[in-house]
Amino acid sequence: MPYLNELIEAQPRWPYFYETKGQFLFESGRGREAIEPLRKAVELAPHEALIQIMLAQAMLSTEDKRYLDEVIRNLKKALVQEPQSAMGYRQLAMAYGRKGDQAQASGARQNFLARASLASAEAYFYEGRLREAQMMAKRAQDGLPGGTPQWLRAQDILDFKMPERKK
């Protein structure tokens, strides 16, 4: 790690040194310590969706509910750039689920859990697990107002048919 710190010192505007440090810390089981360098990497490279997803993972690994709003904000932004990231959707589902657990009003709780179900549906969909995706999409629709973009996305998953294989 000292060599990596020297590289950061020599080139403090290069986001990928911060990303590498954060990834090393996170994968070493030091999620809380990984947050600062990953935040810096996101600050320097705000359009790098995979760094945003890694930051969200590090934050979620701490199980600190104070990070949930930031995690959700970062993941929603990242998923615009990486719309097929199953990991991003899985992390978003986890964040919404945790947010739902702490929500006081039952309406807010239901909304968060419905969005978590939709995020899970999308993760399953991009992993090729259509049956699970459709089950979660149905659960999401049950908690979402009809006709909203989220409800329609769930309907897209429900309507999807696997192409038939040619022999």
pLDDT digits (tens, 9 = 90+) for 89-133: 889 888 888 887 655 445 556 777 888 899 999 999 999 999 999
Considering the chain, what is the average pLDDT of its residues?
A: 90
Cα 96 to chain centroid distance, Å, stands at 10
pLDDT at 167 over 80: no
CB 56 within 8 A of CB 22: no
Is residue 76 domain-shared with residue 143, that is, in the same domain? no
Is residue 72 domain-shared with residue 6, that is, in the same domain? yes
What local confidence, expressed as pLDDT, does residue 84 receive? 79
Model-level pTM? 0.74
Tokens of residue 135, six digits: 């089950």
Residue ending a domain, choose from 66, 83, 100: 83
**What's the rounded Cα separation, in Å, for the pair 137 and 44?**
36
As for how many domains the chain has, the answer is 2
> Which amino acid, residue 129?
R
What local confidence, expressed as pLDDT, does residue 105 receive? 41
pLDDT band, residue 30 (cuts 50/70/90): very high
Q: Does a structural domain hold residue 165? A: no
